[in-house]
Structure formats: structure tokens, C-alpha cells
Copies of this chain bind each other. A is one copy, B any other.
């Protein structure tokens, strides 16, 4: 099965949500992508419909925007 992908950018809201998601679904069941470190994934995230981080893209393609850490515009700066 395709894994959900958790996109974040290292902000405190992102890190807190990352811990919560890992606790809820297990570290082995989610791919974590840090967009500030892995900037060539920014385009994938935008294509998936991610407008802000942290966000979780489910295996069926839905985007769950979780709280609000930073907009994608800020991530791209």
C-alpha cells in the first residue's frame, strides 16, 4: 500500500504535529518529507495540493492540512 506523506518545513508547529502523527500511525507507516532540507520535493507537494505545512497527503490523494505552520509561499523563499 502507498504510504501517506507528511510534509513539513521544520517549524515548531510542524515538529509538534510530526510527533503526533508518528504516535498515531507509527513511524514506519508514514513518509516524512522535510521541504526545507529537500527542496526538490516542493513541486511534488504543490502538485498534491499542499497549500501550507504541516500537511499529510493520504494514500488516496486527499490533503489534510494540520494546524498552520507556514504557507507554501513561505517555504519557497
Scoring A residues 35 to 49 as 1 if CB is less than 8 Å from chain B, else 0, what string do you get?
000000000000000
Write the chain B residue with the least CB distance to A63. Answer: B67
Whether the pair B62, A16 counts as a contact (CB closer than 8 A) is yes
- With known contacts A64-B17, A65-B66, A66-B66, A58–B4 Cβ distance under 8 A: no
Q: Give the size category of A's interface with B.
A: 10 to 19
| A63 surroundings in chain B (CB, below 8 A) | 67
- Report which of B20, B25, B29, B65 forms a contact with A67, defined as CB distance below 8 A: B65
Q: What 17 additional pairs, Cβ within 8 angstroms, besides A20-B60, A24-B56, A65-B68?
A: A4-B24, A16-B62, A17-B64, A20-B58, A20-B62, A23-B59, A23-B60, A24-B24, A24-B25, A24-B29, A24-B58, A63-B67, A64-B66, A64-B67, A65-B66, A65-B67, A66-B66
